[in-house]
Amino acid sequence: MTVLDPEFPNAATASFMFRGQGVHALFLAILLPVAWGLAEPALGDGSWLGLSDTVWFVLAVGEAVLHQLYVWIAWRAQLGRKLFTRLFGRGDFAVYSAIFYVLLLLRPVVIAAVSVADAGTLLLPSWLALALGIVLLVPSLYTAWSVQRYFGFARAAGADHFRRRYREMPLVTRGAFAWTPNAMYTFGFLGLWAVALFGRSHAGLVAALFQHAYIWVHYACTEQPDMELLYGNPGASRG
């Protein structure tokens, strides 16, 4: 049986497993009705692939919640109980990251879906929506390139929760990370805004805003406590 990492004995406690999650639940309880209230006036008339714009909106919001709940449970269970290692051995991170990236890639897909179903409801001229979308897409794509070039997709997924060598890597300060250590959250999620703007979708933009706001809840309630444990610095961030 795999033993617990002696560096992190506190990670096996229930108090650490649920650290920050009360605040997480509180913010989610606020964000969900706010998002619905903002999107509801534009919903009800459109559809795509046999699903109404309302269903697509719920999926766009729910998928983000599912993704972030998965990361919380996976990270804390791995740190405290080596759950993935016990179940999958050397394939622990491969299994975790495969699920992680499927859920990550679904984020723009469901934003695009609700934007197609709800197309044309955003009260902006087509040229302005297109221009704003391009402006927001550029830093998002640059951030994605910076992750690939300087940071690495494994590290971005949370490899430091699985392998010591990732915790020993230096802080990345090149590319988009020269602007802010939280480039992925600050700029990466602007690509979701761009997708909604390209479709001129009111509900799509609300879903993108929800996902962007909610990733910061993840940062404050899940990632920061984990970084404090892993690096001894509550202000540290993976990106």
Task: Examine residue 213 and state whether it is found in any structural domain, yes or no.
Answer: yes
CA pseudo-torsion sign 7, 237, 153, 147: negative
Task: Examine residue 46 and state whether it is found in any structural domain, yes or no.
Answer: yes
Residue 183, domain extent = 10-231
pLDDT tens sequence across 227-238: 999 998 644 454
- Total tally of structural domains belonging to the chain: 1
Look up tokens 């929800």; give the residue.
210
* Phi, psi values for residue 163, rounded to 5°: -130, 130
Both tokens of 19, joined, read 């650290």
* Cα gap 96→72, rounded to integer Å: 12
Q: What is the pLDDT along the chain (239 residues), one digit of tens a residue?
A: 444 454 688 888 999 999 999 999 999 999 999 999 999 999 999 999 999 999 999 999 999 999 999 999 999 999 999 999 999 999 999 999 999 999 999 999 999 999 999 999 999 999 999 999 999 999 999 999 999 999 999 999 999 999 999 999 999 999 999 999 999 999 999 999 999 999 999 999 999 999 999 999 999 999 999 999 999 864 445 44
Residue of 226, 219, 218 whose CA lies nearest to 80? 226
Task: Examine residue 238 and state whether it is found in any structural domain, yes or no.
Answer: no
The mean predicted confidence, pLDDT, of the chain is: 94
* Cα gap 30→43, rounded to integer Å: 20
pLDDT tens sequence across 144-187: 999 999 999 999 999 999 999 999 999 999 999 999 999 999 99
Task: Examine residue 3 and state whether it is found in any structural domain, yes or no.
Answer: no
pTM for the complete prediction? 0.92
Residue of 211, 215, 219, 198 whose CA lies nearest to 57? 211
Task: Examine residue 1 and state whether it is found in any structural domain, yes or no.
Answer: no
